[in-house]
Amino acid sequence: MKRALLDAVVLVACVVALVAGLLRPLRRLLGAGQRFSLWAGTPILNMATNARAERLLGCRTKSLVYETYYITSAFDIDLSRWCRNSVGRWLVSLAAFVWACFRADRLHFYCDRGLLPSRGRFTFDKRELVVYRLLGIPVFLWTYGADIRSRRACQSMGEPNCCTGCDAPGRYCICDDDVAARNQVVLARWSTARFAGIGDMFPYTPGSIDDVYFWPVDLDADGGRRYQPQYPAAGGERLRIVHAANHRKFKGTDHLVKAVEQLKAEGLPIELVLVERMSNEKALEIYRSADLIFDQCLMGNHGYFALEAMALGKPVMCFIRHPDRYLLAPEACPIINTHVATLVDDLRRVFQHRERLPEIGRRGRDYIEQYFSMRAFADRLSRAYLSLGVAL
């Protein structure tokens, strides 16, 4: 009975949203000249950054979330205070859906949710996408990992991978390959385009656009102070390694800890600092103190953590499964590649040649400025819009 009632409420909301959407020309007549673009859904750290980058294309852009994580709450529209119970969440989501149908000229979501409550894990209520299609509102779907990652496809990439250390299959990611495949068929049918973020996401989203690389770093944030580079010293007695261990099982944190303990037992003065469950602002303070940033040694490609580290002028060590296929401008990317099987030797080599670290840090900063700045991402997004026939 409850499910039937909720379905009826959503159907009514869809009808109201269609009527509201049909009034969009009136909004334009009243002077809303700039195109309005809305980024919404899962409160991923870089979603608000993506939204700000799109403003460089001359449109009004906002980010909207129903909840925030401890990492950041820096979104334009934060509705979490009204979504603390299921009734509030339902009412807010219905209102946001109707408002978006009237207000938005294009919509951006991740692959796991839209504005209406989902009918299952890591998926949309299909009726929402149908309404957007009927109203002619372009829908762009982006990825962050768990929203598309399935177990069999992940394991087929080879060892190690995201599933190697997972202690709870079915909990953190979509996992089920059949469900993931069906989800992608639906999303491909009802969206304008899907974008895979980095190389290890490409296999999960057949037919997606894979060359936009949508993890820009706002180098001008706080007047440039947020990512002011602090290059490591060429010498020093101790090597300070910083690792953001927010997902220990996926990043290979235990392997890193063991490797560092082995090197310390050999007499090498190495210090490991783990960053866990803290805001991005506090985490950046610790990153600035690093001689070396360690991203991960299982997943097969870098994350946003590595990009922030390079923006700060820090050398980054990470397992890149296929550098030529996965990296943007691989010839320019200075990430120190490693593998769980060679981790101890790779760390030892970094320590023995730490005089190279400042130059690697400078190359990393140059890499971010050229390829992952807000302007660089906005240019890639603009080219994608033009190729899709979407008006800027």
Three-class secondary structure of residue 252 per DSSP = coil
C-alpha span between 148 and 219 (Å, rounded): 29
Determine the Cα–Cα distance for residues 275 and 367; give it in Å rounded to an integer: 24
Within the chain, which residue ranges are assigned CATH 3.40.50.2000? 221-371
Of residues 113, 246, 93, the one with CA closest to residue 174: 113
For the segment 321-336, the average pLDDT, to the nearest whole number, is 96
pLDDT of 129 higher than 90:
yes
Specify the pLDDT at position 344. 98
Q: What is the mean pLDDT of the chain?
A: 93
pLDDT in tens, 22-41: 888 777 666 566 889 999 99
Residue 1 has pLDDT above 60, yes or no: no
E-state strands within the chain: 36-40, 60-65, 77-78, 106-110, 139-142, 193-194, 239-244, 270-275, 292-294, 316-318, 336-337
Q: What is the mean pLDDT of residues 263-271?
A: 96
Q: Name the residue among 253, 242, 251, 316 with its Cα closest to residue 286.
A: 242
Q: Under CATH, what is the fold of the domain 2-216+374-388?
A: Rossmann fold (3.40.50)
- What value does the mean pLDDT take over residues 280-293? 94
What's the pLDDT score for residue 175? 93
Lowest mean pLDDT among 125-134, 194-203, 298-307, 337-346: 194-203
Q: Where are the beta strands (DSSP E) in 328-386?
A: 336-337
Burial category of 113 from C-beta neighbours within 10 Å (exposed 0-12, middle 13-18, buried 19 and up): buried
In this structure, CATH architecture of domain 221-371: 3-Layer(aba) Sandwich (3.40)
pLDDT score of 7: 84
Tell me the percentage of the chain whose pLDDT exceeds 70.
98
State the pLDDT at residue 237: 83
Cα(103)–Cα(101) distance, integer angstroms: 6
* Cα distance between residue 49 and residue 54, in whole Å: 9
Torsion of Cα atoms, 52 then 55 then 57 then 59, to 10°:
150
- Contact between 330 and 323 (Cβ < 8 Å): yes
> Could you give the count of Cα atoms lying within 13 Å of 192 in the half-sphere of its Cβ?
22
pLDDT at 168: 87
In the DSSP assignment, the letter for residue 372 is: S
State the pTM of this model: 0.94
Read off the amino acid at residue 287. Y
How many whole angstroms separate alpha carbon 299 and alpha carbon 318? 9
Confidence band of 373 (pLDDT split at 50, 70, 90)? very high
25: alpha, beta or left? (left if phi > 0; alpha if psi -120 to 50): alpha
Catalogue the E-assigned strands of 132-253.
Answer: 139-142, 193-194, 239-244
User: CA-to-CA distance for 227 and 214, rounded, in angstroms?
Assistant: 18
